[in-house]
Structure formats: structure tokens, C-alpha cells
Amino acid sequence: MSTSDRAADLPQDLTDGLGVERATPLGGGDTASAFLETAQGSLFVKTMADPPAGMMAAEVAGLHALREHAPQFLGVPEVLRWTEDGIVLEWIEEAPGRRPPGTEEECGRGLAALHRAQGGAFGGLDPELPGRIGSFAVDLSPTQDWAAFLLDRRIRPLLRDAVESGRIDPRAADLLEELAPRAQELAGPPEPPTLVHGDLWAGNRLVDAAGRNWLIDPSAYWGHREVDIAMMLLFGGFGEECLAAYDAEHPLAPGWQDRVPWYQLPPLLVHAVRFGGGYGDAAVRALRRLRG
């Protein structure tokens, strides 16, 4: 199949008027992406066949919120157009080799600045949009109780899905109920609602050829900043200098390291349901670690 044929396969309402000269596929699966060479320059397109209602709109809202609140030196791609089936973004040319000095520190400082953006309640960015973690439906209606939000709207439902799908030892539910009375303690000292990326693993951070950090593919909402910190630590890819710079700019509350397993439970459970493997066992280990 030629690249021109692949361009023809893209949703017409996404590409009309862009003058697409060539489309190079970059990924497949549930979500497909492509590099576009167009009359307007290089662009990136992300599409999904039959996406859940509101999924693309939620991602666009997250990108707009991050662009609004991120400092200038922390990039967020501009949304050029979008539909319910896809999004067209500016193209980010990644660094070809070793990242320039200072990149990690700048990432930490940028994230600290982003996390100073505060909302009036924990929950979604737009009450008209459905709540999602990726393709998972979640309750993002506004609340002032972060600890209950995390336990009852994230951890419990995801654990139930993991048990029902056979992806985790059913005894994990008993472990969680042992911990539930400590939900306030496990969530940490009260903090105001903070704009979080919501899915900040290393693959959703790019560094361009000039050494500028970029955040992509958010599941953004008003949450607790330790959500992003725990995700950064789950799969690696962020240097010690990044977290040190973050803590110097916006110090984390004492004991944050002990809370990391609690905040890592939602992504571990999402991965357990989606992929199986060792993610369910990792979630059980996190629960046992928290139980002591």
C-alpha cells in the first residue's frame, strides 16, 4: 500500500483542506497515528475506530488546559482540528540522540509550575464531558473529598473490573477493604485540586531536538499532584534530577514516598484489565506493602 493510499484511508473530515502530500503510519491497534507531510508543514494525526463517546473531546480539553497552564518552556502540542474520530496536532521533532544537559531539571521545574494551577473541586475539566481514563469510564463529577474520590471512583471500581475479568487474585478485594478505613491517611495531607496530566508515563513526555520537554496524550482532570509523581515512578524514564528539581520548586508533603503504592494502584489495575501479565500481581504487592 502506498503512502498516498494510506492518506486516503484517513478520515476525510480530519484531512480536508490540509493538502496532505504523504501519510506515514506510526502505530496501530486501538489507536492509530500517522506523520503527515502537508502544504502547511509536518503534522501529527491520531485516529481511533469507533471511540467511546466523548473520548476525543476529553483529550482535546486536556490538551487545551495543559497549554493554558503550563509554563512557556514546557510544551504542549497545539490542537489544529479534531472530530469524534481523531485529532490533528502540530508535529514535534524528537531529539535524535542524547538529551541536552538540563533537560531533566527543566522537566521537573515545568511540571512543578503546571501543578500550581488550581481548580475549585476535584473532578473533570468540563462537566459536559464523560469521565475517562483512556477508554475506561470513570466518575469525574465535582467533589471536595479527594480521598473518597481516589478510593471510591478509581481504586474500587478498577479492582472490581480486574477481579471480574480474572486479571487479579480475588483476595485483593479483601486487602483493599482492610486499607479502606485509612483512605484519608493514604491519600496524604489535604491539598487544593491541582491540574494533573493524569497519564504521565515516559512515553507521554517528548523531548524535541532543541531540548524542550513536551507533554502529550493527557487524561487531565483536577486531582492531586501525587497522581503524576507516582505515575512517573511506575515505569521509569524520568531522571532523579527531574524529581529533585520538582521538589525544590514545589515541595511534596512529607511521607509522599510511602504513598506512592496507593497512587500507583489505578494505573496498575488499568494495565491488569487491559493487558493481564504481571500487572495484577504488582497491584497485589502494592496493597500488601501498604498494609505493612
**Which of 100, 110, 108 minimizes the C-alpha distance to 211?**
100
Determine the average pLDDT of the residues in 230-255. Answer: 97
Q: What is the pLDDT of residue 252?
A: 98
Determine the average pLDDT of the residues in 161-175. Answer: 97
3-class SS at 70?
coil
pLDDT tens for residues 51-71? 888 889 999 999 999 999 999
Percent of the chain whose predicted confidence (pLDDT) is above 90? 75
Instruction: Name the pairing type of β-strands 31-38 and 20-27.
Output: antiparallel
pLDDT tens for residues 7-48? 557 888 888 888 898 999 886 556 778 889 998 899 999 998
For the question of whether the overall pTM of this predicted structure is more than 0.95, the answer is: no
Note if 169 is an active site residue.
no
pLDDT at 1 over 60: no
Task: For the beta carbon of residue 42, count every other beta carbon within 10 angstroms.
Answer: 12
**The CATH number, out of the four listed (3.40.109.10, 3.90.1200.10, 3.40.50.720, 3.30.450.40), of the domain defined by the range 98-291:** 3.90.1200.10
Strands (E), the chain: 20-27, 31-38, 41-48, 74-75, 79-83, 86-90, 132-133, 136-137, 194-196, 205-207, 213-215, 221-223
Determine the average pLDDT of the residues in 160-171. Answer: 96
**Cβ-contact 180, 287 below 8 angstroms:** no
Task: Please give the residue that has the higher pLDDT: either 25 or 5.
Answer: 25
Q: What one-character DSSP code corresponds to residue 204?
A: G
Report CA-CA distances (Å) from 153 to 72, 149, 212: 33, 5, 35
Alpha carbon distance 113, 91 (integer Å): 24
pLDDT tens for residues 83-133? 998 999 999 999 887 888 899 999 999 999 999 999 999 999 998 888 877
Please give the grid coordinates belonging to residue 142.
Answer: 465535582
- Identify residue 16 by its one-letter amino acid code: D
Instruction: For the chain, state the CA radius of gyration.
Output: 20
Determine the average pLDDT of the residues in 218-242. Answer: 96
Q: What is the pLDDT of residue 28?
A: 54
Active-site residue identified among 9, 199, 208, 228: 199
Q: What is the pLDDT of residue 2?
A: 40
